[in-house]
Amino acid sequence: MFGLAAYQYRVKLINKRLAATCAACAIALSSGLAAGISPAVAGGRHGDGHGVHQPATRHQIPFTAATVTQNADGSFTITWAATGARSVSVYAGTDQNRISYKRAVAKGSAKATVTVTGLAAADRWWFELVPDRGESLTVADRSLHLASAPNFRDAGGYRTAGGQWVRMGVLYRANDLGKLTDADVAKLKRLGIRTDIDFRTDSEITASPDRIPAGVTYIHANVIGTSGVGTGGIDLTTEAGGVAMMEAGEKAFVSSDSGRAAYTTFFTTVADPKAANVVYHCTAGKDRTGWASAALLTALGVPKATVLEDYLLSNVNLAASNAATLAAVPAAIRPGYKAVLDVRESYLQSGFDEVTVTYGTFDNYLRQGLGLTPKDLRALRAQLLVG
């Protein structure tokens, strides 16, 4: 371990870039390392924990895949696959509830990729995919393209194993909102954000209070609490030390009292139609927020592979800021610190392992760990699923 003077110097450098780092990491750096505790974090794989019951649902949406990507030149690439359809027409609008049907902006076969050009600048463009057979599906680019919050994105737009889709435009996940520009705050107002769930600690909030539109309901749901859950002895001179810390933190999200209380608040809030539209976030938007999204999507019946795909998107969205942070970190701790900045499959898996060890099944985690009732879960699915 480093001498105290050297450690304090390194912490001073690192803390300048903590906006790209999760609170669990910050607490571990300031308490676990400073205390000089030796590495002692053990993991274990006990199954994926994805045994949540999803009621059988008859649906008519034929799309098995649908994505929208806004390109640098302002065009949009739209890809879809629709079982049983012969053709699909695409209509566009700047409000998902006010799509223009005067003319299609694109057409294609049951499985196609198209590029839409010539649309004016807007906060967000929505595209309704209308098949010749079955119900339509409305989708948008998942990213909100906020330079001040690069991990701000729609939490919906995923297909469940039962063929339903997680509704877009009502639930957003994000990183630190304290650096939003005035223009970004105005954009959130136009997007109809009504509720802000903040998973951060008191010290994080003091350092960077949220900038949100006036009138938005603010909910503080501190996942870590005041006890420094998920910390222990960490040796960041090795990659294994950073990985161990992150896996331990993920387990604590599931089993700690503060974690269970925070995620109970999260689930009950997003199930309430009066709260929509909701944004939930932490500092980097990848760990505490990552577990919130993974747990929510799993509860809604989204397949494990898709849940992991959403989780790993943080590596893409935070690539630039993470690279800058890592460049400022002393070389001696760079191996472990890179692991801290990343999201990795093993981190998320450790959370689901903890679910299995502690509760047996994901259903039990929702009902016993978070105290959600069957009525709560029905309300959640009614609010967030279409099809």
- H-helix segments, 191-303: 202-207, 239-255, 257-270, 288-299
- Record the pTM: 0.84
Mean pLDDT, range 161-188, rounded to an integer: 97
Q: Using pLDDT thresholds of 50, 70 and 90, give the confidence band for residue 233.
A: low
Q: Residue 6 has what pLDDT? A: 31
Q: Residue 82 has what pLDDT? A: 97
Mean pLDDT, range 99-119, rounded to an integer: 97
Are both 4-54+169-386 and 63-134 of the same fold?
Answer: no
Mean pLDDT, range 25-49, rounded to an integer: 31
Count Cβ atoms below 10 Å from residue 328 Cβ, excluding itself: 11
Q: Residue 235 has what pLDDT? A: 80
**3-state SS, residue 238:** coil
Instruction: Tell me what percent of the residues of the chain surpass a pLDDT of 70.
Output: 83
Residues with Cβ within 8 Å of residue 316, at least 6 apart in sequence: none
The length of the chain, given as a count of residues: 387
Element spanning 4, H or E: helix 4-15
Distances (CA, A) of 230 to 23, 184, 206, 255: 11, 33, 22, 10
Greater pLDDT, 45 or 250: 250
63-134, which class in CATH? Answer: mainly beta
Helices 345-359 and 288-299 cross at an angle (nearest 10°) of 60
Q: Using pLDDT thresholds of 50, 70 and 90, give the confidence band for residue 92.
A: very high
Distances (CA, A) of 361 to 18, 54, 138: 35, 13, 33
Mean pLDDT, range 215-238, rounded to an integer: 80
| Sequence spans of domains, the chain | 4-54+169-386, 63-134
The predicted-structure confidence for 245-296, as pLDDT tens digits, reads as follows 999 999 999 999 999 999 999 999 999 999 999 999 999 999 999 999 999 9
Instruction: Tell me what percent of the residues of the chain surpass a pLDDT of 90.
Output: 81
4-54+169-386, which class in CATH? Answer: alpha beta
3-state SS, 121-137, equals CCCCCEEEEEECCCCCE
Cα gap 78→221, rounded to integer Å = 36
